[in-house]
Amino acid sequence: MTKPRVKASDKGVAAQPSLADIEPYQQGKSRLENFEQPVRLSSNESSYGCSPMATEAFLRAQHELHRYPDGSQLNLREAVAEIHNVSPAQIVCGNGSEELIGLCTRSFVSSGDEVILTRNHFVMCPIYARAQGADVILADEAGDVIDVDQILAAITDRTRMVIVANPNNPTGTYFNASELERLISGVPESILLILDGAYAEYVTAADYNDGLGYVSDHINIVVTHTFSKIYGLAALRVGWACADQSVLQEINKLRTPFNVNGPAMAAAVAAIRDQAFVEKVRDANRKELDWILPAVRGLGFVVTDSVANFYLVDIAIVEGATSEGAASYLESCGVIPRPGGGDGRLRLTVGNREENEAAMNALEAYLEQLK
């Protein structure tokens, strides 16, 4: 039975029925009263800025603001292909990788289909699926690590898409190359498998694989990456996807002709070619994680073994502590965290040392005032 169309009031045009139960995405808080420059640890932004080469390229692009950007995205696709050893013909760029996940969903998912996500997932993914009238199936995890067996067991004849973030958001954990191989082998080619690698560039583990090497031999795999995280270009909104040309052909039917602006593409080309800057940020992030995780555990909290630029803290594990109380207290100290991963937990971005010390000091002070 078809759902009735939805009206926000008794007047006006009714929305499509699939939007009835969808709540808009809420981005991480960025402002606090009484703090002109709070410590923003809510949105996994880079505290190290972007490559100076990217800044220079962005500024040079100001002289072309009267021109439309290259809708073919050729320069950026070639730069991505050069760094990642794939073909430019396998690349499409978007207004962040989030847009590309949305385009995949709109292109391949219909009403009555099923989309499989993991229990911990990026919040926009179920929004995109439900907007298409699809049912969202959540595969359980092994602790806070993606469980390939649970994903494969959830597949039915109605499954059209599987979306897996590796590393996962909000846990920061990853599943290794052998598990990725099992996942790819177990997902039928009739099902689109999206491997979201938004945080892939942060991973230093030797047994990690983002899946790019599988695209050429698997018609159903899409690997997405973003310039918002390690490249520090969050304000410009640039991402890319690598997939078989048959998949890109369908995505490009819906992609708007100028979905990535000219200055953003110019900055992204320069950023991806400055891999020395990427390595510097990755090393700094790993150093801070190695300091943060023991510090959090030393306070009595449980924290995930993150490999990304954020970490997930179980606040409620400490008697009397709550995620709401901790978030409120941290904000009173000028530190902005983000709720995530279920009741009683907070996600915090890995900042620079000054920011991370502010977060640890605030968490410690929160525990002291509970006594």
Report domain extents, the chain: 28-49+276-370, 52-273
Superfamily of domain 28-49+276-370: Aspartate Aminotransferase, domain 1 (3.90.1150.10)
Residues 6+ apart with CB under 8 A from 94: 100, 103, 238, 239, 240, 241, 255, 259, 260
How far apart CA 170 and CA 146 sit, in angstroms, is 12
Q: What is the pLDDT of residue 370?
A: 87
pLDDT digits (tens, 9 = 90+) for 184-215: 999 999 999 999 999 999 999 999 999 999 99
- What confidence score (pLDDT) does residue 368 get? 93
Convert the pLDDT of each residue in 56-104 to its tens digit: 999 999 999 999 999 999 999 999 999 999 999 999 999 999 999 999 9
- Which carries the bigger pLDDT value, residue 11 or residue 164? 164
Q: What is the pLDDT of residue 128?
A: 93
| DSSP per position, 165-226 | ESS-TTT-----HHHHHHHHHHS-TTSEEEEE-TTGGG---TT---SGGGGGG-TTEEEEEE
Q: Which residues contact 67 (CB under 8 A, 6 or more apart)?
A: 262
Residues sharing a CB contact under 8 Å with residue 281, sequence separation 6 or more, in sequence order: 46, 48, 230, 232
Pairing assessment for the beta strands 221-226 and 192-196 based on DSSP bridges: parallel
Question: Could you identify the residue written with the tokens 């092994």?
Answer: 142
SS3 365: helix
Which residues have a Cβ under 8 Å from the Cβ of 171 and sit 6 or more positions away? 120, 144, 145, 304, 306, 312, 341
Q: Give the three-class secondary structure for 92.
A: strand
pLDDT tens readout for residues 301-334: 999 999 999 999 999 999 999 999 999 999 999 9
Torsion angles phi and psi, residue 293, rounded to 5: -60, -45
**What are the φ/ψ torsions at residue 134 (nearest 5 degrees)?**
-90, 160
Q: What is the DSSP letter of 3?
A: P
Q: For residues 230 and 282, what is the distance between their CA atoms, to the nearest angstrom?
A: 7
pLDDT at 6 over 70: no
Fold of 52-273: Aspartate Aminotransferase; domain 2 (3.40.640)
pLDDT of residue 5: 62
